[in-house]
Amino acid sequence: MAGTGFGGAIAPTPLVRSWRTAFLTLRDETLTNPPRNSTAQLLHNLIFSHSHTLLSAAPELSSHEVLSDIVFLMELVASTSSDEEDCVHIYTQASRLVHDICRQVKFDINGSSFGSVLGSFGKMLDRFLGKDATGDKLTGICRAAAIVSAVECLHAIRCIITLPNRRWLQSEDTILVKFLLHVIVSSQESSSSELQAVSFEMLGEAISRAGSSFPVDIWRSMFEVVRKTMDVMVLKTSVVEDNAMSRFYESFLRCLHLILTDAKCSVSEHVSVFVAVLRMFLNYGLSGRTPSTLLVGQTKNNLNYISPKVHRDQLNKSDHSVYRPPHLRKKDCSNVKPNRATYSQYISDSESSAINVTSSDSDFSDGDGSAKESARGQYSRVRVATIICMQDLCQADSKSFSMQWSLLLPTSDVLQPRMRDATLMTCLLFDPCLKARMASASTLAAMLDGPSSIFLQAAEYKESSKVGSFTALSSSLGQILLEIHKGILYLIQNEAHGKLLALLFKIIRLLILHTPYSRMPPNLLPTVITSLRTRIEEGFRSKSDRNNLLDPAVGCLTLALSSSPSSAQVKKLLHDEVSSGYLEKEKKSGVLSLLFEYASQGSCPSICLEALQALKAVSHNYPSIVTACWGQVSSTVYSFLSIVCPEVPSKQSNEHVGSTTAFNNEKILIAAIKVLDECLRAVSGFQGTEDLSDDKVVDVPFTSDCIRLKKVSSAPSYELECKEDDVVNSEERESGIEQWCEAMEKHMPLILCHSSAMARAVSVTCFAGMTSSVFISFTKEKQNFILSSLVHTAVHDNASSVRSAACRAIGVISCFPQVCQRGT
C-alpha cells in the first residue's frame, strides 16, 4: 500500500502527503506559544476545509497512523473553549469527519491502546453532553447539533471496535461497559432517544459477547443504570409512540432481556419497578385505537363481550382494499377519506395476507412495504421485547414476581378488549401480532410452571364484593385463575395456529395441575373437560398439527379427569353420558366414547397410552360409572391381549430392529391391564387392606370425636358416594362378582402366560385388589385357581418382579377369613 513501504522504497501518494502535512502542521501549530491562531481557526484551515481529501487519503494509510491522528483531533476538540457559534461548528465538523473516516478504515486496535482511545472519545462525548453543549442557554439548534455529534461519535466507536473475528479481552469489555454506562447516564439529561438507543445496542452487544465473565460490581452498575432509566420513564405520564422512541424502547428492552437472562446479582429489589414500567408497553402502538362501535348484530343490551377472534379480524380487514401500483398512489391521496376507522392501524403484521394501499416510503417503488406498516412492525417488536422481559423477570426471581400477578393478570372481564388496562391475557387474546401472542403464552406458562405456582393452592373463588373494598390474596388468586381459564379455553376452542395451540395446551395443563378446583366455581372443571373434548372432536387443521397437538390435548383431558378431590359435577357429566346410551349410538359424542375410541387406536402409541391413562383416572375418581363401561373396557383390553408381544429387554438396544414397536406394544398392554385392575377394584369396592372406617383417636384431648380416615392411593375414590349407604350395595357387589368372573375366564389366562414379564407382573397385581366379599362369592374351583396360580407364579416365574407381585397378592388374599379358616 502506498506510503507504507520499507526503507522509503515506495513514495507516498499525494493524498497521503496531504494527510500527513495537515496533521503535522496542526500538531506544530498547537505547540506554538503563544498560538498564532485560535484552535477553531486551525481546525477549519487545516482539517475541516480539506475533509474530502482527508477521507480519500485515509484508506491508503496504516490504520495505526489514522487512529493516532483522529485521537489527537478528538482530544484537541475536547479541550477547545469557544463561544456558541464556534462550538456548533467544531462539534459538527469534527464528529462528522471522525465518523466518516472510521467507516472507511478497519482498525486493529490492541489492548494497550483500547482504554486510551475510549478515553479520548469519552472526553469528546463529555463535551457534547455537558452543560455547555446542552444547557438552557443554547438554542434548540445548538442542542440538537451537540446530540447529533455525540451519536456520530458512538457510531465511530462502533466502527473502530467492531472488527470481524476480533479476540476481545475481558478488560476491554469491562472498559467498554463502564464507558457506555457513563454515556447512558449522561444522556438522560439531554433526553436523546437516538443516543440512548445506540448506547443500549452497544451495551447489549457487549453483554452477549462477554456478559458471563463480568464481575459482580459491573452487573450491579448495569442494574443501577437500568433502574435510573426506568425511573425516568415512570415520571412520564405515558410512553411516546414514534419511530425514534420506539427504536430506543426496543434497544433498551433487548438489553434488559440480556441483563436479566444472565444476571449475577439479585433482582428482587428492582422487580416491582421493572414490572410497573414494562406494563406500560403491553399496549404500545395500540393505545387509544380500540373500536368504538359495536360489532354487527350486537346491541348494548345483549353485548356480553367482543369475540377476540372477531376483534382481530375486524382490525385486520380495516386497512385492506384493492392493490394500487406505486406510481398511482400519490394521485389517489386526495381521494382518501379522512374519517377512516381509528382501529385500522391494528392491521396484523403476521396474519394478514392482503396488501395495504398506503403509500410506501417512495411514491414510485414498492420497497419493503409502507412506512405505516414499518411503524407497526417496530411497535410490535417493542411489545414482544416487553413480554420477553417479563418472562425473564419471572425466571430470575419467581417469588418476587409472583407478588405482581394482580398487575399482569386480569381479575374480571378477560374477554373484553380493554387495551388501556392491558394485561398478559389482553396481549394473548387481542394483540394483532402473532409473535406477541406467542410471547404472552410462553410467559404465562413460565409463571404457572415456576416455584411461585405453589401459592396458587391458596386460591379461593368468592363472588366479588363492592368496588374498592379489600380483597384477600386468596380471593384475588381465585379470580385470576377463573379469568385465565376463561381466556385459555376460549382460545383453545378458536385458535388455529399450531405452535400457539401447543403453548395453550401447556398452559391449560399447568392450570389443571395447580388449580384447587374444590374451592373454585363448581362448573369450572366440567367446563375444562367439555372444552377439551370438543376441541379434540373438532380436530386440527393440518396433519402435522394433528400429530403434534392431539397427544397433549388428550393428556390435558387425562389430568382434568385425574384432578383430586373428585368433582360432583364431573360425576354428573359422566353419568349423563352413560345414561344417554352412548354405547348404542352410531355417532358417539362424549368424554368416555372419545377415550374408548382413541384407546382402541394402537397405531398411535402415545395417544393410545394417554387415552388409557384417562380411562384409568375415570375408574379411580368416579368408580360408580365403571359398571356401565365394563363392556368397553373388557373388549379393549382383550384386543391388546390378542397381540403377540415378545419379551423386551429392560435396557432397549438401539441396534435391535423392531424393538421400538415391541416396546410400545408392551407399554400399551401394561396400561390396558392397569385400566382393567382399576375397574375391578372399583366394581368390587376395594378400599385397601386396612380398616378405614373406625380408627378413632380417643386418648388425645379435643379429638375424641374425630375420625381419622386413612386414604389408600391404590383404592378408588368413594368420597362422592352417599355416606349413609354402604360403599358397595348388594347389586353393585353382584355386578363386581360377574366382572371378576369374566376377567378370570377371558383375560387372566392370556395375561398370566404372556411373554412379557411386566404384563404378567401387572396382571398378578390385580389379585391384590380383590376384596374378601368377592373372593367368598367364587366357587371352590375359582378360589383354588386363584390360589394355585399365585403360588405357582411366586415359586416358578423367571422374573423377580412377577414373583414379588405374586407374593404381595398372596399376602392380601391370605388375610381373608375364609382362606385362614381353610388353613391353606
194 or 108, greater pLDDT: 194
pLDDT at site 336: 39
Angle, alpha carbons 677-679-685 (nearest 5°): 100
Domain enclosing residue 17, as ranges: 9-165
C-alpha 429/C-alpha 423 separation (Å) is 10
Residue 92 to residues 85, 255, 735, Cα–Cα distance (Å) = 11, 29, 95
Residue indicated by cell numbers 457513563: 182
Q: Does residue 440 fall inside a structural domain? A: yes
Q: Give 259-301 pLDDT, tens digit per residue.
A: 999 888 889 999 999 999 999 999 998 875 544 333 223 334 4
Please provide the DSSP assignment of 167-211 as one string. ---HHHHHHHHHHHHHHHHHHHHHT-HHHHHHHHHHHHHHHHHHG
Note the helical H segments in 515-641: 524-538, 543-562, 568-579, 591-599, 605-621, 626-641
164 or 221, greater pLDDT: 221
Does the structure show a pLDDT above 70 at 239? yes
Q: Does residue 375 fall inside a structural domain? A: no
pLDDT tier for residue 328 given thresholds of 50, 70 and 90:
very low
Q: Does residue 252 fall inside a structural domain? A: yes
pLDDT at site 345: 32
Domain ends where: 253, 278, 303?
A: 278
Average pLDDT of the chain, as a whole number: 78
Q: Does residue 319 fall inside a structural domain? A: no
High-pLDDT (> 70) share of the chain, %: 75
pLDDT at site 651: 47
C-alpha 311/C-alpha 430 separation (Å) is 7
Does the structure show a pLDDT above 70 at 705? no
Same domain, 173 and 161: no
Same domain, 259 and 147: no
Contact 426, 281 (CB under 8 A): no
Which H or E run includes 763?
helix 757-767
Q: Does residue 184 fall inside a structural domain? A: yes
Same domain, 190 and 150: no
Domain ends where: 488, 521, 554?
A: 521
Same domain, 37 and 117: yes
Q: What is the mean pLDDT of residues 564-588?
A: 80
218 or 34, greater pLDDT: 218
Same domain, 743 and 814: yes
Same domain, 781 and 664: yes
Q: Does residue 528 fall inside a structural domain? A: no
Same domain, 118 and 158: yes
pLDDT at site 82: 57
Contact 284, 264 (CB under 8 A): no
Same domain, 37 and 133: yes
433 or 311, greater pLDDT: 433
Q: How far is CA 205 from the centre of its chain?
A: 24
798 or 168, greater pLDDT: 798
C-alpha 557/C-alpha 532 separation (Å) is 6
Of 335-344, 513-522, 656-665, the poorest mean pLDDT is in 335-344
The number of distinct structural domains making up the chain is 4
239 or 11, greater pLDDT: 239
pTM comes to 0.80
Q: What is the mean pLDDT of residues 488-517?
A: 94
Q: Does residue 505 fall inside a structural domain? A: yes
Same domain, 410 and 268: no
Q: Does residue 526 fall inside a structural domain? A: no
670 or 3, greater pLDDT: 670
Same domain, 21 and 161: yes
C-alpha 742/C-alpha 753 separation (Å) is 17
Q: What is the mean pLDDT of residues 307-335?
A: 48
Please provide the DSSP assignment of 524-560 as one string. HHHHHHHHHHHHHHH--SSHHHHHHHHHHHHHHHHHH
Q: Give 53-111 pLDDT, tens digit per residue.
A: 999 999 999 988 998 998 888 888 887 765 545 666 777 888 889 889 988 888 877 77
Same domain, 36 and 69: yes
pLDDT at site 723: 43
Does the structure show a pLDDT above 50 at 209? yes
Q: What is the mean pLDDT of residues 377-406?
A: 93
Domain ends where: 121, 145, 165?
A: 165
Give every CB contact of residue 306 below 8 A, 6+ residues apart in sequence: 291, 295, 298, 415, 416, 417
Same domain, 103 and 176: no
Contact 507, 445 (CB under 8 A): yes
Amino acid at 543: K
DSSP code, position 360: B
